[in-house]
């Protein structure tokens, strides 16, 4: 069986797929990859289905040893990956394209120069046990992924069996056993830079209950992502908001992208591992097409919100998936 070994783990490296959307009624978070676009792109580049498990690296990357010849792709945050092969000088590994890795090689991912999270897909997928129809890790509940925790040095991760799609991509890259990659690359989303990132939102149940000054702040001001942020949510500071009248609320449904307003006035943007219910007022929802961009924001970065209609949000979602499909079709990974 093919396996890869973690020689050095990054800040928060976990096994993720597309999560558990069917178990929210049981109190289970959706979870899964924070950046669905980068996760799916990495998988499709190596011939995996979109839901195959990848390794999500946060801010700093892993050092990984490959037991056998492998086909990988790295997407998302720019982590300057370098490959160390026996008897050869270190070689930079290009992101956003399939790469053939010889057996015994070591792949080192550095600190992210841009973005926050990168995704490493390997042909066959990370074959950890399926729990509630998913291989994704839920850290605060300690289940799924690899033993329900972040990856650590010495971990061995099994790789699944190659499918016909994997072998077609391998044939395109010539043979295994060599460090090979095509000249083209696919990038469907620009990483955020040091300037202010704009996230589009739609109104929510309690948006109209904000004070007029708070509504202006929500749509015109810049919020800073606090260091008190993780896969469950981002705390946004510097621009506290107020409701016209604070009221007691029953817990109601919440999803990744919901913007909650706790009593201190500092909004919380819920992310992949958020609880499926919450009792704070909901003052907006980041549209699904912008959640991947949100996943690439770091603590300390500034974010601005732009209000859009539901129809515009649906159009953005369709356009995002069309861009991914067209990009992959152009490199003949879908149509051939």
Q: What is the DSSP string of 260-299?
A: E--TTS--EEE-TT--SEE-S-EEEEE-GGGHHHHHT--T
Prediction pTM value: 0.94
Residue pair 251/286 in contact (Cβ under 8 Å)? The answer is: no
Q: Tell me phi and psi for residue 35, to 5 degrees.
A: -110, 95
pLDDT digits (tens, 9 = 90+) for 28-64: 999 999 999 999 999 999 999 999 999 999 999 999 9
226 DSSP assignment: P
CB atoms within 10 A of CB 305: 24
pLDDT digits (tens, 9 = 90+) for 99-108: 999 999 999 9
Token pair recorded at residue 258: 């919901």
Residues 6+ apart with CB under 8 A from 89: none
* pLDDT > 50? residue 335: no
Listed residue (119, 121, 64) closest to 98, CA to CA: 121
Token pair recorded at residue 202: 């739609």
Residues 6+ apart with CB under 8 A from 36: 18, 291, 292
pLDDT digits (tens, 9 = 90+) for 265-304: 999 999 999 999 998 999 999 999 999 999 999 999 999 9
Q: Average pLDDT of 249-260?
A: 90
E strand or H helix that includes residue 235: strand 233-237
Q: Average pLDDT of 159-182?
A: 77
Pairing of strands 277-278, 91-92: unpaired
Token pair recorded at residue 1: 């069986």
Listed residue (118, 124, 123, 74) closest to 96, CA to CA: 74
Please state, in angstroms and rounded to a whole number, the distance separating the CA atoms of residues 83 and 93: 6
Q: Average pLDDT of 200-217?
A: 94
Q: Over the chain, what is the mean pLDDT?
A: 91
Residue 174 is predicted with a pLDDT of: 61
Domain ranges of the chain: 3-189, 197-321
Residues 6+ apart with CB under 8 A from 68: 2, 103
125 DSSP assignment: -
Residue pair 55/316 in contact (Cβ under 8 Å)? The answer is: no
| Topology (CATH level 3) of domain 197-321 | Cyclophilin (2.40.100)
Q: What percent of the chain clears pLDDT 70, i.e. is strictly above it?
A: 96
* pLDDT > 90? residue 186: no
């Amino acid at each position: 069986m093919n396996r890869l070994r973690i020689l050095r783990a990054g800040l928060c490296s976990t096994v993720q797929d597309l999560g558990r959307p069917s178990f929210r009624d049981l109190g289970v978070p959706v979870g899964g990859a924070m950046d669905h676009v980068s996760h799916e792109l990495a998988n499709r580049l190596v011939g995996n289905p979109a839901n195959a498990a990848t390794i999500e690296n946060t801010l700093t990357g892993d050092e990984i040893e490959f037991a056998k010849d492998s086909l990988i792709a790295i997407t998302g945050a720019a982590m300057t990956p370098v490959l160390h092969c026996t008897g050869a000088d270190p070689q930079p590994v290009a992101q956003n394209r399939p790469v053939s890795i010889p057996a015994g090689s070591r792949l080192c991912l550095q600190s992210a120069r841009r973005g926050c999270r990168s995704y490493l897909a390997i042909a066959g997928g990370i074959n950890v046990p399926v729990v509630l129809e998913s291989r994704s890790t839920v850290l605060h509940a300690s289940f799924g992924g690899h033993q329900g925790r972040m990856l650590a040095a010495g971990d061995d991760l099994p790789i699944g069996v190659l499918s016909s799609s994997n072998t077609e991509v391998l044939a395109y890259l010539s043979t295994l056993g060599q460090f090979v990659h095509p000249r083209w690359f696919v990038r469907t989303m620009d990483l955020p830079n040091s300037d202010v990132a704009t996230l589009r939102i739609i109104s929510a149940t309690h948006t109209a209950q904000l004070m007029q000054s708070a509504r202006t702040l929500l749509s015109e001001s810049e919020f800073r992502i606090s260091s008190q942020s993780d896969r469950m949510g981002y705390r946004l500071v510097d621009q506290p908001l107020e409701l016209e009248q604070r009221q007691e609320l029953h817990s109601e449904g919440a999803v990744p992208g919901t913007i909650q307003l706790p009593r201190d006035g500092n909004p919380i943007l819920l992310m992949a591992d958020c609880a499926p219910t919450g009792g704070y007022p909901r003052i907006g929802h980041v549209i699904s097409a912008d959640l991947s961009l949100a996943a690439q924001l770091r603590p300390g970065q500034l974010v601005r919100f732009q209000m859009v209609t539901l129809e515009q949000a649906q159009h953005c979602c369709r356009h995002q998936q069309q861009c991914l499909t067209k990009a992959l079709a152009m490199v003949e990974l879908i149509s051939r």
